[in-house]
């Protein structure tokens, strides 16, 4: 089997549900428990009715990260007599407290570290990403770490990829692989930026909208096998 690390000098990863488990219901439940509120599935359904469309607008460049963070907690902030910014900060702190790498993430990154250059491009928020990288011990493995909130552009906008390429020293695009779980933001974004892509397709979902990743895997163990077949025998 071809060793793919002979082909790629850079591997760029998404963060949420690619390297890290992202259980927003558990994070919200923990955060609201600190306000003595029993946040339940019905509350979560209402929250998602607001949150999900905001994320679509954010990724499409219609609204800013600050607007998303404010709008999704506006009603709860009014009920609790705090600012939406305070609730958002408390939510990100709770998410950091429950953060765990996905199964196989640590083994994969440890195996790749030193063999290929690693970076992160995430639409997540700075307050969570930096704490999470530090607490998991991954911080030293990834450079650059490009966070959409800081740039003002989110995947799939090619601007965030071009920004990353600049920080990477403008590598040859055929030597860069983007790995992510979101077909639209990660895979379409990578394709539009002219690089190969690997879709971490956790749920065996069908490819839609004629978006064709270079590779597909179901989990990080499969990605490990794809990238380093000799190391996972």
Q: What is the pLDDT of residue 230?
A: 74
Distance between CA atoms of 5 and 231, rounded to whole angstroms?
12
CATH number for the region 24-98 comes to 1.10.150
Find out whether 195 and 176 touch, Cβ atoms under 8 Å.
Answer: yes
Query: Boundaries of CATH 3.40.50.1000 in the chain?
Result: 4-21+101-232
- pTM, two decimal places: 0.94
pLDDT tens by residue, the chain, 233 residues: 456 788 999 999 999 999 999 999 999 999 999 999 999 999 999 999 999 999 999 999 999 999 999 999 999 999 999 999 999 999 999 999 999 999 999 999 999 999 999 999 999 999 999 899 999 999 899 999 999 999 999 999 999 999 999 999 999 999 999 999 999 999 999 999 999 999 999 999 998 888 999 999 999 999 999 999 876 44
14 is catalytic: yes
Q: How many CB atoms lie within 10 A of CB 123?
A: 25
Q: What is the pLDDT of residue 1?
A: 40
Query: Boundaries of CATH 1.10.150 in the chain?
Result: 24-98
- Work out the angle at residue 132's Cα, subtended by the Cα atoms of residues 128 and 137, and round it to the nearest 5 degrees: 160
Q: What is the pLDDT of residue 232?
A: 47
Does the domain made of 4-21+101-232 have the CATH classification 3.90.1150.10? no
Q: What is the pLDDT of residue 205?
A: 93
């Amino acid at each position: 089997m071809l060793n793919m690390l002979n082909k790629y000098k850079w591997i760029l990863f998404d963060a949420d549900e690619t390297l890290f488990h992202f259980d927003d219901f558990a994070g919200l439940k923990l955060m609201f428990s600190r306000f003595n509120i029993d946040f339940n599935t019905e509350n979560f359904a209402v929250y998602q009715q607001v949150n999900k469309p905001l994320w679509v607008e954010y990724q499409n460049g219609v609204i800013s990260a600050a607007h998303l963070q404010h709008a999704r907690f506006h009603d709860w902030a009014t009920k609790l007599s705090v600012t939406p910014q305070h609730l958002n900060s408390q939510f990100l702190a709770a998410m950091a407290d429950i953060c765990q790498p996905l199964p196989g993430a640590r083994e994969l990154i440890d195996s790749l570290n030193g063999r290929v250059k690693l970076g992160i491009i995430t639409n997540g928020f700075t307050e969570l990403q930096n704490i999470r990288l530090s607490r998991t011990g991954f911080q030293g493995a990834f450079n650059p770490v490009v966070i959409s909130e800081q740039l003002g552009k989110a995947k799939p906008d090619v601007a965030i990829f071009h920004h990353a390429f600049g920080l990477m020293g403008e590598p040859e695009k055929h030597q860069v692989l983007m790995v992510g779980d979101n077909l639209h933001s990660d895979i379409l974004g990578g394709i539009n930026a002219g690089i190969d892509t690997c879709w971490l397709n956790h749920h065996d979902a069908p490819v839609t909208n004629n978006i064709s990743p270079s590779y597909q895997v179901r989990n990080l163990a499969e990605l490990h096998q794809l990238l380093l077949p000799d190391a996972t025998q």
